[in-house]
Amino acid sequence: AKDPVRVLVTGAAGQIGYALVPMIARGVMLGSDQPVILHMLDIPPAAEALNGVKMELVDAAFPLLKGVVATTDVVEACTGVNIAVMVGGFPRKEGMERKDVMSKNVSIYKSQASALESHAAPNCKVLVVANPANTNALILKEFAPSIPAKNITCLTRLDHNRALGQISERLNVQVSDIKNVIIWGNHSSTQYPDVSHATVKTSSGEKSARELVSDDEWLKGEFITTVQQRGAAIIKARKLSSALSAASSACDHIRDWVLGTPEGTWVSMGVYSDGSYNVPAGLIYSFPVACKDGEWTIVQGLSIDEFSRKKLDATAEELTEEKALAYSCLS
């Protein structure tokens, strides 16, 4: 039998945490033959709720779940973890300035970076979900210099999956027959959902999604805004944010990273930019990536037309500003 993998979830008593931990315990993230030990961290005001989640995990009697650590101590939470899913963060409250939210999150991610750096297992893989996800991930990277940059990522897979969902509805095809959409840039309203290279499996072979949709106006307009604003639409409908789909996509992100993507298929991940596609190096930016043997690589050589170029640059610009704002909060 395989040794258990230790998976940390921060903010585990929150909405996304509540949806995510049972998925992990059922093998959705790492496979149905991979035992797991869950480490759940939350802040002291949420300690009782966190204990309630732990009680439910016990009650669910998941065969793959070999242990649960539920704690408000960041060192205890981070010790020995192989995978860290960072969901905890300071929420944007009404009337708060962007800088105030940034400042709170920068200090959270700075201290959690140090705890992970000192106590996580070697080669720990980190996924940041809490917003501003790209910039929180960047701060985590900066304050955990001994964790390789390639191990620190942020979630744009939900946006990627939302793009697949929209194309599936539009073309009335199965989501599993569509591949290679791309989310470029920031997990924010400047993200660029791009179907220029996406394909659809049809009874007469693989076809370009763009040609099948054959409505560039929709692809360049409503499609993009629908994906960008889907989170707000869910809040409006549910009066709560999108926790189920966020949790599910976090599992997709880690599963593909660890177990690999099928040949010829890519997914979107926020990763440390090396300057590919003329995106400034040193940002955490969402790119198309292929994964193999536990490592991602940015898919190279895709053509970028003028429309796309502008979108890639606009979201990079926002990330550059966020980075500057984050640094100004540090000093």
Among 128, 140, 243, 271, binds ligand NDP (CB under 6 A): 243
Instruction: Please say whether the beta carbons of 20 and 85 come within 8 A.
Output: yes
Q: Tell me the window of 87-95, 196-204, 283-291, 317-325 that interacts with ligand NDP (CB under 6 A).
A: 87-95
Name the minimum Å distance from CB 95 to ligand NDP.
Answer: 15
According to CB under 6 A, which residues from 19 to 58 bind ligand NDP? 42-43, 46
d(CA 160, CA 54): 31
Residue in 5, 6, 8, 11 binding ligand NDP, rule: CB under 6 A: 11
Cα angle, residue 156 at apex, residues 331 and 197 outer, rounded to 5°: 130
Q: Candidates 27, 185, 193, 231: give the one binding ligand NDP (CB under 6 A).
A: 231
Q: Which two tokens stand for residue 221?
A: 């307009």
Q: Are 163 and 181 in contact (CB under 8 A)?
A: yes
Q: Which of 14, 35, 193, 288 binds ligand NDP (CB under 6 A)?
A: 14
Q: Is 193 in the site for ligand NDP (CB under 6 A)?
A: no
Q: Which two tokens stand for residue 64?
A: 């793959």
Q: Which of 39, 119, 160, 187 is catalytic?
A: 187
- The residue among 10 and 186 lying less far from ligand NDP, judged by its C-beta, is 10
Q: Which of 196, 208, 241, 265 binds ligand NDP (CB under 6 A)?
A: 241
Binding positions for ligand NDP, 143-182, rule CB under 6 A: 158
Question: Of 209 and 246, which CB lies nearer to ligand NDP in the complex structure?
Answer: 246
**39 flagged as catalytic:** no
Q: How far apart are CA 273 and CA 86, in angstroms?
A: 20
The stretches of 239-305 forming alpha helices (DSSP H) are 243-259
DSSP E strand stretches across 163-283: 178-179, 182-184, 192-194, 199-202, 205-208, 267-272
> Of these, 71, 82, 153, 242, which contacts ligand NDP (CB under 6 A)?
242
134 binds ligand NDP (CB under 6 A): no
Question: Which residue is it, tokens 């779940």?
Answer: 65
Stretch that binds ligand NDP, among 85-93, 141-149, 261-269, 314-322 (CB under 6 A): 85-93
Name the residue whose CB lies closest to ligand NDP: 14
Which residue lies nearer to ligand NDP by CB, 159 or 194?
159
Q: Kindly state the number of chain residues that form the binding site for ligand NDP, as judged by CB under 6 A.
A: 27
User: Which of residues 131 and 191 has its CB atom nearest to ligand NDP in the complex?
Assistant: 131
86 and 126 Cβ atoms separated by less than 8 Å: yes
Dihedral sign of CA atoms 238, 239, 243, 246 in order: positive
The rounded distance, in Å, linking the Cα atoms of 241 and 224 is 20
The beta strand positions in 159-304, using DSSP E, are: 178-179, 182-184, 192-194, 199-202, 205-208, 267-272, 284-292, 295-298
Instruction: Decide: is 246 part of the binding site for ligand NDP (CB under 6 A).
Output: yes
The DSSP code sequence of 13-53 is TSHHHHHHHHHHHTTTTT-TT--EEEEEE--GGGHHHHHHH
Residues found near ligand NDP in the complex (CB under 6 A): 10-11, 13-17, 42-43, 46, 87-92, 108, 129-131, 133, 158, 231, 241-243, 246
Active site residue ranges: 187
